[in-house]
Structures are given as C-alpha cells and as structure tokens.
Amino acid sequence: MIKLTAKEDEIMAFFWEKGAMHVKDLIELYPDPKPHFNTISTMVRALEAKGLLAHNKFGYTYQYYPVITPGEFGEGKISGAINKYFENSYLDVVSTFVKRDKIQLEELKKLIEEIENAKKNMK
C-alpha cells in the first residue's frame, strides 16, 4: 500500500484534477506565498518514484502526468486496510457495515444483482 504525506496527497489531487503539468504550472495552483520550486520538484519526483506519476521530456523540462486514477489509488488503499484490519475478508467488511447500519438491505440486494449480472456477462 502506497502511503502519501498530506502534501503529496495535495499534489496528486492537483494532477488528477488538471492532468499533465510542468512543476511551474503546479506551483501556480498554490495560493501566495507559493512553495519553492525545488520543494515541489522534489515532491513530484518522489511521487514519480512511488509509481504515481510519470513524465515526458520537452527540451530541458519535464511535464509530469498521473499514471493512476484516483479510483485505482483509493482501491489500493481500501484493499490494504481490508488486508490489515479484516484479515483480507471482504465478507467481514460487509458484515461489519451491515451490523452498524452503514449498508441497508436494499443496497445489498442491488449489490447481489450487480454481481450476478457481471457473472452472466463474463460467460
């Protein structure tokens, strides 16, 4: 599971919202006082090392872009939490939410219907 600092999460939110950007474009999205170029550049390179961003080279500059969607990132976080706290049992997760009235019967019926339809479409 990839862990992000609050600042890294903020930067990823900018990339997911705006798409490909140079570091200078990213800095322009911040209110004054703007963060230093080197600070943001270092954080962007760290996000690239974590596999969340990639870049295209344009002369002497790099344009960075996200390689994972917010949904994919969230799914990884959820999977990690389920593995850590529910011994990788998705059934235990759903059961916990049902017991705490976080999921209603109608929602479960709809989920079962979606699963059945997905299985039919796989055949």
Pair 40, 89: CB distance under 8 Å: no
pTM value is: 0.76
pLDDT tens per residue across all 123 residues of the chain: 688 999 999 999 999 999 999 999 999 999 999 999 999 999 999 999 999 999 999 999 999 999 999 999 999 889 888 998 999 998 898 888 888 888 888 888 998 999 999 888 887
Domain coordinates in residue numbering, the chain: 6-66, 89-123
CATH of domain 6-66: 1.10.10.10
Burial 70-105 (b: 16+ CB within 10 A, else e): eeebeeeeeeeeeeeeeeeeeeebeeeeeeeeebee
